[in-house]
Amino acid sequence: MSVQLEKGAFLCSIDTELAWGSAHREKDPTEYEHWDSYGRVRDTIERLLALMDRYEIRATWAFVGRLLIDPRDDAQTSLYPENPQPANVHHTDSRFSEAEYLDRWYAPEILEMVKSARSDHEIGSHTFSHLVFNELGYSDDQFEQDLAAAQKHAEALGVSLKSLIFPKNRVANVATAARHGFTSFRSVPESRTAKLPSVPRRLLQRLDAYLPVPPDVSYPKRTEGLWELPATYYYRHAGGWARWQTNMVRTAKLKAGLKRAASRNAMFHVWFHPYDIASAPDMLLKPLERTFAEVARLRDAGKLDNLTMGQLSESLPVS
Ligand SMILES: [Zn+2]
């Protein structure tokens, strides 16, 4: 059952994973289309955090737990032997030094960057190993172990994980997440065109991306003991067909989402990966800056809140 909000809300959730986002693929990860962007993620996050500080924007940073391990520290890597270690298995490419390669898999310093930002961000979970529901190797038991490892590792870092983002947005085992201390998760509803055959569907998706059509907004729902906080806008990388999208359209869509959320007392929940922005940071940070400025303006006018997933969940009534 959906819940009406007292005021519109802007949420931003960030799937922070680097190479773990491609770990489930058969392909050599160095051939993966975002491999180069992973190398620019640290710089991009630094710039993004500075923008968020400037406009006092709070986001939910959902980390893959393994990203935060130091691979050179045997004590840390041996803590979780039950989980897969694709990082080591795949290092066969002579084009990259081992250090360069491991940099794409392990980045404990990113957590410190987010923690030391002035804005009060939330540290959430994108699971421990980016185990994807319905893909090879996924079982209910493994998911259970994975979430237990995520919480155990976060606890060692002084963090209590409350908000969960499922790998590839494949929502599953919500009750398991509730047992492991989570209070909310993000879903991404099927688009309006999802039921169409593939050719018209892709055509409409691109058309939607190229035109300043306002994105949907959403409402929190109670699902198996957790708050489900649907995201309705993916702020996409600038690769492939999306390279033709203009900043004018990007900005118009983001601002239209904010306006709808404010006028309908709804959520405008935007999501992306740091590598999306790192695909073309100079270009993609600009619409985000304009959006953050607009959030600040609406917030100061009392028309919109900016909350993390955990903060929004805490503010909702559990009946
Ligand atoms: Zn992911």
Enter the tokens of residue 225. Answer: 């003991």
Distances (CA, A) of 39 to 243, 274, 275: 20, 11, 9
Report yes or no: 232 and 11 within 8 Å, Cβ to Cβ.
Answer: no
Domain total of the chain: 1
pLDDT tens-digit map of 42-89:
999 999 999 999 999 999 999 999 899 877 776 666 666 555 555 444
Residue 79: inside a domain: yes
Looking at residue 131, what DSSP letter applies? P
Distance 168 CA to ligand 1 centre (A): 5
Q: Which helix (H) or strand (E) holds 171?
A: none
Distance 131 CA to ligand 1 centre (A): 9
Distance 14 CA to ligand 1 centre (A): 9
Nearest-angstrom CA–CA distance, 219 and 313: 12
Distance 157 CA to ligand 1 centre (A): 21
- The residue range of the domain holding 143 is 8-315
> Residue 242: is it exposed, middle or buried by C-beta count within 10 angstroms (0-12/13-18/19+)?
middle
| Three-state secondary-structure class, residue 134 | coil
Enter the tokens of residue 72. Answer: 């050179």
Residue 154: inside a domain: yes
Residue 122: inside a domain: yes
Distance 166 CA to ligand 1 centre (A): 7
Decide if pLDDT at 26 tops 80: no
Residue 2: inside a domain: no
Residue 216: inside a domain: yes
Average pLDDT over residues 97-116: 89
Nearest-angstrom CA–CA distance, 118 and 236: 26
Distance 263 CA to ligand 1 centre (A): 31
Distance 18 CA to ligand 1 centre (A): 8
Distance 63 CA to ligand 1 centre (A): 9
- Say which CATH number the domain at 204 has: 3.20.20.370
> Which carries the bigger pLDDT value, residue 146 or residue 285?
285
Residue 226: inside a domain: yes
Residue 169: inside a domain: yes
Residue 156: inside a domain: yes
